[in-house]
Every structure is written in structure tokens, then in C-alpha cells.
Structure 1
Amino acid sequence: MRLTTKGRFAVTAMIDLALRQNSGPITLSTVSERQNISLSYLEQLFGKLRRHELVESIRGPGGGYILARFAREITIADIIFAVDEPLDATSCGSKSECSSGKDGNLSGKCMTHDLWTNLNRKMVDYLDSVTLQDLVDQQRMRQLNQVPQTSSVMMQKKTDSLSSVIV
């Protein structure tokens, strides 16, 4: 069970796009530079995202990509499934016949089939409960929390410098 770079990069790029949604269309080259993702890889991913109506492309000068729906209406599961990312913890691909008997013939479900099938369901349920807006809000909070820390360090340095001048 692995989430490959296809799913990870698609989610990352969609967060980048959603963070800047109010600035108009965003070019894939700027997303590529900011997120350090190959431009040709992004083009492939955004082709799939567009076909699944998660993004729209705007042609011409000032063109790029915008979200096709509100970020609160796009789930992470939508993004991952749009780029054909399989989420399957079973070793049989969720087939009902996955256990090999002594003779090598398939003989029903393996002993852990239901465990992995239930994990698949929980993963999909979780990813379906998280929206793109949730991740955008999370990212904005991280950015806000970094600003005061940086400011307070700078303020402390200024205060220290001023104290040394006064003494």
C-alpha cells in the first residue's frame, strides 16, 4: 500500500492553485517552480484533473489554471482518484479470490483479506472527509504562525541591540 508521487504531487499542486485562486489563473510553470515538480509531470496530472472537472484551463495571455469548483467542494479523494491513483492495501487488488492453496490454485479469500479491505474503506472515507479547503486553511495557519515567530526574533534582536547601545 503506497500513495505514489502521482497522488502526492496532484494534491500539492492543487493546494498551491487553491492558495492563489484569488489571483486569477495560475500557470503550471509557476506551480512547478514553487513546488519543485517537473512541468511535464504537472501537465500530465492537470490533464487528468481537467478531464475530471476539478480544474479549468484558461487559454491566452494571462491564462493558466483555476479550480473548477470551490475548494470546499473538492475532496482529497477526488484529486487522488482523478489522477488514477490506486488505494489498495490488499495484495490481490481487492479480488474475491486471492488465496493460493497447496496446489497453487486460487481458493477464496486469504486470511487477512477482510482486514485490508476494511483498511481500504477507511482510507477512502478519510480522504473523502478532507477537503482541499481544509488543507488550504491548514497551510495558511502554518504561514501565519511562522510570521509572528520571525517577527518576535527580529524584535528581540532589535531590543538586544538597543539595550547594548543604551548600556
Structure 2
Amino acid sequence: MKVSTKGRYGLRAIVDLAAHESEGQVSLKSIAERQNLSENYLEQLFSSLKKSGLVKSIRGAQGGYLLARTADKMTVGDILRSLEGTLCPVDCIDPDVPSNCDRADECVTVDVWAKIRDKVNEVVDSITLADLVSELENKSNNDYIYYI
């Protein structure tokens, strides 16, 4: 299973947002500059994050984005699922995808895929955004410039 650019950049951007949120709402322009990402691409990502209820936007000249809940109540899993969709390695174990597999009853690999799904979800749901911000602060000596 591979996390796309959407997931990687989105996670990077929301960590940046969380790290700078104490300054007030954070503009996508400032995130784009710090992270060397396209502002237009960030707009697409933040649209998904907003739809999922993870961020909220403030309009106007001094507008920007804020977290919709505290960083300790938001997990990497929440963020990745918002951007990537399900974290299932194959469709046949995805509860959101109707199964049309004619081998489902005798499939011996379905348990392998389910275990992979469960472990991936366990890991991403055990790491909060606050954990990443704390790690960032430890690694960067408060510069908030980092690479994922």
C-alpha cells in the first residue's frame, strides 16, 4: 500500500498548520512557502480537510485556516482517510466497496489483507497531530521547517 502525494503533502501541511496555529489563522500562502508546495494544490487538499471537519476556514484579507478540533484529538488516520479515502490494501475487504469477488468464500488471502488493513489503521490511529508537532519541535529547534 502506498500513500499518495495527496496524503503526504496534506499531512505535511496540516502539521505546519498545527505548529503555527498559536499565531492565529494560518494562510495557505504561508504554508506553501514554508513547505515549498503549490498554493493551488493546498487549496484542493484543504477543501477535502474542511469537508471532513478537520479544519475550518476564516474568510477575508486576514483569513486563513484553523484546526477544527485540538491537535491531541486528531490522528494521522483521520487526516489520511480524509485525503486518501479508505486505507484498505485491496477492495475485497473494504466495507465501502461492494464485493463482487466470486472467490470470496474460499479465498485464503483475505485474512492477510485484513490483518494488513488492521495494523495500518492501528498505527495511524495511535499517532495524534499533537504527537507530530511535538516531534517537529524536538527535531527542528522551533524553526518549524521540516520534511516528511
Note whether the superposition's TM-score is higher than 0.5: yes
Secondary structure class of the residue paired with 1:7: helix
Q: Percent identity?
A: 40
Provide the rounded CA distance (Å) in 2 between the counterparts of 1:26 and 1:18. Answer: 9
Letter in 1 for 2:93: S
Structure 2 partner of 1:14? 14
Q: Which runs of 5+ in 2 are unaligned?
A: 144-148
Structure 2 partner of 1:162? none
Structure 1 partner of 2:103? 107
Which of the pair has more CA radius of gyration? 1
1:27-69 deviation digits (Å, cap 9, x = unpaired): 1111111112221111111011111111110111211011111
TM-score by length of 2: 0.84
8 Å contact 1:54–1:68 — kept in the other structure? yes
Structure 1 partner of 2:114? 117
Provide the rounded CA distance (Å) in 1 between the counterparts of 2:34 and 2:141. Answer: 19
- Structure scoring higher RCO (CA < 8 A, sep ≥ 6) equals 2
Provide the rounded CA distance (Å) in 2 between the counterparts of 1:135 and 1:93. Answer: 32
RMSD value, Cα: 2.0
Structure 2 partner of 1:141? 138
Give the aligned length.
Answer: 138
Q: Which runs of 5+ in 1 are unaligned?
A: 99-105, 147-167
Structure 2 partner of 1:129? 126
Structure 2 partner of 1:94? 93
8 Å contact 2:4–2:84 — kept in the other structure? no
